[in-house]
Structures are given as C-alpha cells and as structure tokens.
Copies of this chain bind each other. A is one copy, B any other.
Amino acid sequence: MEHTVRAFDQELAAIKAEVTRLGGLAEAEVSDALTALIKRDPQLAAEVVERDRKLDDLELEIEERATQLMALRQPVAIDLRRTLAALKMASNLERCGDLAKNIAKRALILGEAEPMAPLMRPIERMGRLVLRRLHDSLDAHSRDDLVLASEVWSRDREVDEHYESLFRELLTYMMGDPRTITACAHLLFVAKNLERIGDHATNIAEIVHYEITGEQLTSRPKLENLPGA
C-alpha cells in the first residue's frame, strides 16, 4: 500500500513539475508578445508564434499523464483533486499561450503600420498588471499558497478597469484620426486578449483554492454592464 502511495505521489509531483514548466512557458509567451508589440520587434513576435506549439504539446502531455495516473491509481479525495487541478491548470495555461500568440500576430501587423506611441503606454501598463497577476497565480500554485491565491482572486477588477479605460481611449483615438482605425482595431483585440489572460489568472487562483480546500470560490467580483465588458 505504501509503495502504491509513493508511486502516486512521485508521478503527481512529476505532472505538477510539468504544469509549472507550462506556466513558465506561458508567462514567457505573454511577456515576449508584449515586448514584441511595444518594441516593434518582428523577430521576437515570430518566435512567440512559433513557440506556441510547445505549449500545445505540453498540455497534451500533461493531459495524457494525468489521465493515465487516474486510470492506474484511481485516486480519491485530495489526490483526485490535485490530479484534476493539473488538468485544469494545463487547459488555462494553453489558452494563455494562444492569446499571447494572437497578440504576437497582431504585433507583426502593427509593426508594419505607423507607430502609435501614446497608446503604447496604457497597453504596457495593462500588460504588466496582467503579467503580475499571472505570475502571482502561478506562484500560488507552485507554493500551494492559499493567501496569495485569494489575493489574486480578489483583485480581479483591476484588469477590467484598465480594459474599460483602454477601450474608451482607443475609440477616441480612432474617431480623432480615422487613418488609425485598422491599427486601433488590432489594439482593441490586444487589450481584450490581455483581459482574458487576467481572467485565466483568476481561474488559476480558483483552481489553487479548490485544490487545497476542496471548496469552489464562486461569485467572483466583476464589473457588470460596462460598455466594453
């Protein structure tokens, strides 16, 4: 029996290490996509697009290993929760990678257009906030830190506020100079993608909370009924 338990723990630790690695890759993708956009670096943007495959492959691998582990060891209680948490983490992180890839593709397009310096400041600010949330939620995951997870979760609104303000700013810019419409439309989606990455950080905080306590965090604080929501 003890032998079985140890084998389970070993394999789960290995899967968790893969999730941590996927988290690191996702963070790098988001960070590099943002840098590529702001510094107008097409080579870095192309790298982000290319590297996304790695995240897809790693997600599949984690999924297969976690499913195998469940079939082989049939975990219950906390062990089952931890295995399911790994699956959910992988799915959220893979989506963050997709969103980063999408930002990188837009960075490639925007790199060919006129620079829009005044808009880059608020995009960068929002990007840094989202990256910090993603980083903190991943920290909470790798350290099983319930306090940090709750902190990330409860500050979900900050990103929404940045997004709302960027949405309005971008529309104003488009109206002021219709030649910027195409570029601003891409930036609208960049802002939306950053907001979604922030949501995934919130999801990750919820997964960590569920993994440790077995309880679902619900009724997340949200800005309802706002224009760009």
- Which residue of B105, B178, B192 is within 8 Å of A178 (Cβ)? B178
Encode A113-141 as 1/0 by CB contact (under 8 A) with B: 00000000000000000000000000000
Alpha-carbon separation in the docked complex, A70 to B182 (Å): 50
Q: Which residues of B contact A216 (CB under 8 A)?
A: 60
- Which residue of B91, B105, B181 is within 8 Å of A174 (Cβ)? B181
Q: A74-B74, A189-B192, A227-B109 are in contact. Are A60 and B218 (CB under 8 A)?
A: yes
Q: Does A225 contact B (CB under 8 A)?
A: yes
- Which residue of B60, B80, B189 is within 8 Å of A67 (Cβ)? B80
Q: Which residues of B contact A84 (CB under 8 A)?
A: 67, 70, 87
Main secondary structure of the interface of A (DSSP, over half): helix
Encode A68-110 as 1/0 by CB contact (under 8 A) with B: 0011001011001100100100010000000000100100010
Segment 183-227 of A: residues with Cβ below 8 Å from B: 185-186, 188-189, 192, 216, 218, 225, 227
Q: Does A175 contact B (CB under 8 A)?
A: yes
Alpha-carbon separation in the docked complex, A86 to B188 (Å): 34
On chain A, which size bracket covers the interface?
A: 20 to 34
Q: Does A229 contact B (CB under 8 A)?
A: yes
Q: Does A171 contact B (CB under 8 A)?
A: yes
How far in angstroms is the closest Cβ of chain B from A199? 10
User: Is the Cβ of B80 less than 8 Å from the Cβ of A71?
Assistant: yes
Q: Which residues of B contact A105 (CB under 8 A)?
A: 225, 229
Alpha-carbon separation in the docked complex, A60 to B219 (Å): 12
Q: Which residues of B contact A174 (CB under 8 A)?
A: 174, 178, 181, 185
Taking Cβ atoms with an 8 Å cutoff, the residues of A that contact B are 60, 67, 70-71, 74, 76-77, 80-81, 84, 87, 91, 102, 105, 109, 167, 170-171, 174-175, 178, 181-182, 185-186, 188-189, 192, 216, 218, 225, 227-229
The 4 closest A-B pairs by CB, nearest first: A74-B74, A71-B76, A174-B181, A178-B178
